[in-house]
């Protein structure tokens, strides 16, 4: 089932109820000019006060019904739209948070916001379309009762207009999808540039990076303008056709009134219906564009939800560390899928990814802990230098994603956070790639001393090719093409395995 179909299915109750209420509202709206015409012919023209009071009271009751129906229907539909957008964001988040799934950050931003909202708007579009059809049908019946030619103009003209406008829907879908794609690429590039600004400045590449972002930004602007132009032309065409149709009805009614074929009250009704029909005609003509936008956004969300996570190597997790043991794991060619094997959600297992995430707040808030143990953790992870570098210490505020920190500082704070949790099994994936050699040796010894002192029952997996980290392990397991091919100490493997030696010695 498509994403749009699934959204309708799981919101079928609110959508059905909302559609009926919106249909009732639009039907009452269509009855207003009909009732006004009746008042003119049966009360105003005859001068009967009792009939005037009766029909005006009926008109007031009609307004009460249409107001209550609209408020109740809109409440149902807006809640369904908000709930569905929230569900879609949760589904996208669950997919991208899977460590085995790789999605560009900018795409996640636009898909989980703009696309989720635009897709969920379908739950509002359908009831509005249903209400427009109800209003058009009641208006057509009312016009037929006054004059068959007037009713036929509505009954025959509306389908022709809708079919003609529907031909523009595929182009709108393509251009909206292209706009969202390029916007996601620009947002992703901007995120990468902000995150890596310090390294870019270090190598003098900030001008080239800025030039690249300007190019992508111009592409995004051009795609947005193309989509806006298409939607604008479509809206202009639909409004023009709707207005011309309503004007044609009014002109035809004026001719009938002058020729005596309809009464004064019927003329008022026809003019009122012609003015009122502008709204449902506009809805009917704009509906193809709405659905095209929802379809384009739904396809982008489906593309993310259909991503199949990378399959882990078929090793069945054969390397669980025993109590109190520190195990090094060297994976060739890629450790990413292997890391996912250990991320089983157990509270006794913590997997610290290679690319750490920090959030806006203080250093203390990012570490999520305090107390006497904190100083030992900061020393073991060499994060005490990061804290000491700022006058506020642990209360120093850092930006979202740690943008103002260097890569090494972010890695050390993330490592401190993982060590502070003190899980039974800690899996660290290349935790020292952004630090210098001296700091790396200090961290290796710090991890060993903190987690594997006398009597410790904690286990640590170091998935790395760092010789400094591997040197402090109890044993090293070599996984090559998904199979364990060697086990031993770092020193013994470096002396006997040429492939291992070329992979880790640097």
CA angle, 145 then 147 then 149, to 5°: 125
Domains of the chain: 3-305 (1.20.1560.10), 326-504 (3.40.50.300)
Token couple for 378: 């900061």
Pairing assessment for the beta strands 349-352 and 425-429 based on DSSP bridges: parallel
pLDDT of residue 358: 82
- DSSP code, position 452: S
| Ranges of the chain with pLDDT below 70 | 1, 98-107, 154-155, 157-206, 231, 238, 242, 309-322, 333-347, 369-372, 401, 506
Token couple for 352: 């610290």
The 3-class secondary structure across 265-319, one letter per residue, is: HHHHHHHHHHHHCHHHHHHHHHHHHHHHHHHHHHHHHHHHHCCCCCCCCCCCCCC
CB 337 within 8 A of CB 313: yes
Which is nearest to 319 in space by CA: 460, 477, 167? 477
pLDDT of residue 21: 96
Q: Does residue 333 have a cis bond before it (omega within 30 degrees)?
A: yes
Q: What is the pTM of this model?
A: 0.58
Cα dihedral sign for 474, 479, 483, 489?
Answer: negative
CA atoms within 13 A on the CB side of 497: 21
| H helix or E strand, kind and range, residue 398 | strand 397-398
Tens of pLDDT, residue by residue over 38-88, are: 888 888 777 788 888 888 899 999 999 999 999 999 999 999 999 999 999
pLDDT of residue 201: 62
Pairing assessment for the beta strands 361-362 and 349-352 based on DSSP bridges: unpaired
Nearby residues of 398 by Cβ (< 8 Å), 6 or more positions away: 358, 360, 361, 362, 363, 366, 404, 405
């Amino acid at each position: 089932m498509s994403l749009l179909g699934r959204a309708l299915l799981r919101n079928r109750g609110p959508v059905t109820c909302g559609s009926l209420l919106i249909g009732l509202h639009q039907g009452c709206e269509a009855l207003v000019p009909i009732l006004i015409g009746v008042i003119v012919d049966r009360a105003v023209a005859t001068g009967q006060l009792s009939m005037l009071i009766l029909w005006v009271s009926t008109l007031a009751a009609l307004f009460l019904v249409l107001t209550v129906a609209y408020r109740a229907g809109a409440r149902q539909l807006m809640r369904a739209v908000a709930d569905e957008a929230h569900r879609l964001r949760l589904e996208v988040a669950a997919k991208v948070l899977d460590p085995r799934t790789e999605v560009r950050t900018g795409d996640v931003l636009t898909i989980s916001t703009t696309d989720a909202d635009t897709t969920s708007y379908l739950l509002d579009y359908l009831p509005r379309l249903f209400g427009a059809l109800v209003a058009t049908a009641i208006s057509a019946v009312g016009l037929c009762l006054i004059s068959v030619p007037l009713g036929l103009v509505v009954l025959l003209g509306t389908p022709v207009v809708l079919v003609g406008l529907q031909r523009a829907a595929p182009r709108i879908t393509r251009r909206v999808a292209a706009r969202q794609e390029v916007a996601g690429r620009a947002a992703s590039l901007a995120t990468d540039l902000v995150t890596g600004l310090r390294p870019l400045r270090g190598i003098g590449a900030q001008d080239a990076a800025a030039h690249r972002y300007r190019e992508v930004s111009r592409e995004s602007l051009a795609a947005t303008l193309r989509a806006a132009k298409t939607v604008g032309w479509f809206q202009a065409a639909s409004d023009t056709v709707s207005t011309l149709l309503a004007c044609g009805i009014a002109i035809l009614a004026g001719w009938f009134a002058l020729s005596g074929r309809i009464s004064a009250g019927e003329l008022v009704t026809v003019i009122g219906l012609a003015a009122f029909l502008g709204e449902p005609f506009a809805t009917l003509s704009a509906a193809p564009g709405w659905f095209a936008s929802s379809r384009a956004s739904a396809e982008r969300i489906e593309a993310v939800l259909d991503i199949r996570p990378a399959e882990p190597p078929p090793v069945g997790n054969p390397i669980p560390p025993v109590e109190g043991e520190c195990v090094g794991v060297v994976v060739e060619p890629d450790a990413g899928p292997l890391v996912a094997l250990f991320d089983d959600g157990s509270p006794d297992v913590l997997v610290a990814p290679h690319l750490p995430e920090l959030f806006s707040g203080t250093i203390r808030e990012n570490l999520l802990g305090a107390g006497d143990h904190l100083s030992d953790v900061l020393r073991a992870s060499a994060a005490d230098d990061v804290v000491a570098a700022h006058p506020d210490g642990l209360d120093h505020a850092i930006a979202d994603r740690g943008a103002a920190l260097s890569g090494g500082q972010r890695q050390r704070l993330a490592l401190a956070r993982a060590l502070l949790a003190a899980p039974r099994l800690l899996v660290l994936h290349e935790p020292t790639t952004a630090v210098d050699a001296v700091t790396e040796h200090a961290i290796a010894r710090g991890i060993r001393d903190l987690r594997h002192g006398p009597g410790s029952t904690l286990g640590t997996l170091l998935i790395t090719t760092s010789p400094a980290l591997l040197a402090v392990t109890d044993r090293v397991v070599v996984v090559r093409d998904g199979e364990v091919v060697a086990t031993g100490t770092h020193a013994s493997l470096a002396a006997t395995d040429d492939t291992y030696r070329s992979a880790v010695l640097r």
